[in-house]
Structure 1
Amino acid sequence: MTEKKKKTIMQKRESIAAWLFLLPSLAGIIFFILIPFGDVVRRSFFEAMSGKFVGVSNYISVFANEAFQMAAKNTGRFILICIPLLLVISLVLSILVMGQTKLGDFFKSSFLIPMAIPVASIVLLWDVFFNKNGLLNNMFSILGYQQIDWMHTSKAFNILVFSYVWKNTGYDMVLWLAGLNGISLALYEAAAIDGAGAWEKFTYITLPGLLPTAFTLFVLSLINSFKVFREAYLIAGSYPDNSIYMLQHLFNNWFVTLDIQKMCAAAIVVAVVLLIFILVVMKLSSRGEEDSY
Structure 2
Amino acid sequence: MVKTYRSWAPWIAILPALILFFVFKIYPALGTLFFSMTDYNGNIDQYNWVGLKNFKNALTINFNDLFNAIGVSFTFAFFTTLIQNILGVSLAVLVNLKIRGKNAYRSILFMPNVLGVVIIGLVWTLIFDPYSGPMNQILGMFGTSSSMLGDSKLALPLVIFVQVWTSVGYAMVLYLAGLQGISQDIYEAGSIDGAAGWKSFRYITLPLLQPIIGVNILLSIIGSLRVFDLVMILTNGGPDDSTMTLGMFVFKTIFDSNSTQGYASALGIIHFLVIAIVVVIVQTYMRRREEKLS
Correspondence 1:59 to 2:55: yes
Secondary structure in 2 aligned to 1:159? helix
User: Deviation per CA, 1:60-80, whole angstroms, max 9, x where unpaired?
Assistant: 211231322222211111001
Deviation at residue 28 of structure 1 after TM alignment: 1.7
Deviation at residue 95 of structure 1 after TM alignment: 0.9
Deviation at residue 239 of structure 1 after TM alignment: 5.2
Deviation at residue 121 of structure 1 after TM alignment: 3.4
Correspondence 1:20 to 2:12: yes
Equivalent residues of 1:232, 1:240 under 8 A apart: no
The amino acid across from 1:253 in the alignment is K
Deviation at residue 29 of structure 1 after TM alignment: 1.7
Describe the shift of the 1:20–1:288 C-alpha distance in structure 2 as closer, same or farther (beyond 3 A): farther
Counterpart CA distance in 2 for 1:141 and 1:199 is 40
The amino acid across from 2:57 in the alignment is S
Secondary structure in 2 aligned to 1:243? coil
User: Deviation per CA, 1:210-262, whole angstroms, max 9, x where unpaired?
Assistant: 22212221232234325653233224346544211222322222211352122
User: Deviation per CA, 1:24-49, whole angstroms, max 9, x where unpaired?
Assistant: 22222222111221222222222225
Describe the shift of the 1:139–1:102 C-alpha distance in structure 2 as closer, same or farther (beyond 3 A): closer
Partner of 2:116: 118
Counterpart CA distance in 1 for 2:193 and 2:171 is 32
Equivalent residues of 2:225, 2:247 under 8 A apart: yes
Secondary structure in 1 aligned to 2:242? helix
Structure 2 residue aligned with 1:44, among 31, 36, 53? Answer: 36
Deviation at residue 288 of structure 1 after TM alignment: 2.6
The amino acid across from 1:221 in the alignment is S
Equivalent residues of 1:208, 1:288 under 8 A apart: no
The amino acid across from 1:185 in the alignment is Q
Equivalent residues of 2:36, 2:263 under 8 A apart: yes
Q: Which runs of no fewer than 5 residues in structure 2 stay unpaired?
A: none
The amino acid across from 1:54 in the alignment is V
Secondary structure in 2 aligned to 1:99? coil
Corresponding pairs, count: 282
Partner of 2:74: 76
Describe the shift of the 1:240–1:22 C-alpha distance in structure 2 as closer, same or farther (beyond 3 A): farther
Partner of 1:263: 264
Describe the shift of the 1:144–1:218 C-alpha distance in structure 2 as closer, same or farther (beyond 3 A): closer
Deviation at residue 139 of structure 1 after TM alignment: 4.0
Partner of 1:133: 131
Correspondence 1:184 to 2:183: yes
Equivalent residues of 2:54, 2:263 under 8 A apart: yes
The amino acid across from 1:287 in the alignment is R
> What TM-score do the two structures reach when normalised by structure 2?
0.84
Describe the shift of the 1:199–1:61 C-alpha distance in structure 2 as closer, same or farther (beyond 3 A): same
User: Deviation per CA, 1:60-111, whole angstroms, max 9, x where unpaired?
Assistant: 2112313222222111110011111101111111011111343221111110
Partner of 2:232: 233
Equivalent residues of 2:92, 2:172 under 8 A apart: yes
Counterpart CA distance in 2 for 1:228 and 1:268 is 15
Counterpart CA distance in 1 for 2:265 and 2:287 is 33
Counterpart CA distance in 2 for 1:240 and 1:259 is 25
Which one has the bigger helix percentage? Answer: 1
User: Deviation per CA, 1:261-281, whole angstroms, max 9, x where unpaired?
Assistant: 222212112212211222222
Equivalent residues of 2:130, 2:146 under 8 A apart: yes
> What TM-score do the two structures reach when normalised by structure 1?
0.85
Counterpart CA distance in 1 for 2:290 and 2:8 is 33
Counterpart CA distance in 2 for 1:228 and 1:39 is 22
Counterpart CA distance in 2 for 1:69 and 1:166 is 27
Describe the shift of the 1:120–1:275 C-alpha distance in structure 2 as closer, same or farther (beyond 3 A): closer
Counterpart CA distance in 2 for 1:142 and 1:84 is 32
Counterpart CA distance in 1 for 2:288 and 2:235 is 43
Counterpart CA distance in 1 for 2:139 and 2:107 is 34
